[in-house]
Amino acid sequence: MKLKDLAEKAARLPDLDFDWPGPEQYHSNVFLSETNDLPSLRVYVEKLKDRIADQSRAIMRLKKGYEALREIILETEIEDL
């Protein structure tokens, strides 16, 4: 495989868009300041659920990208350097 072909395959790997700060980064002070009553607790839990779902999808894309990259590397015989 030529280096150019390897670069083209690498460019097709999925983009990852992790945004780690968020409500799921639990800290007791933040939890206590944002959950003063049952409605605010529900809002907090809904944010938490959405963020965890987003991160689960991001982790799935990361796994697929890693597997694709691993296959590319295992199949590569670099001819041009």
- Return all residues near 56 (Cβ < 8 A) that are at least 6 apart: none
Higher pLDDT, 77 or 8: 8
Is residue 58's pLDDT more than 80?
yes
Q: List pLDDT tens digits, range 15-47.
A: 766 666 665 566 788 788 888 999 999 998 898
What's the N-to-C CA distance of the chain in angstroms? Answer: 11
Q: How far is CA 36 from CA 45, 48, 65, 78, in A?
A: 13, 16, 41, 60
Which whole-number Å values give the CA distances from 50 to 14, 32, 37, 57, 71, in the listed order? 21, 20, 20, 11, 32
Domain boundaries along the sequence of the chain: 3-75
Confidence (pLDDT) at 75: 77
pLDDT of residue 34: 84
pLDDT score for 43: 92
Tens-place pLDDT, residues 64-77: 888 888 888 777 77
Q: Is pTM, for the whole model, over 0.85?
A: no
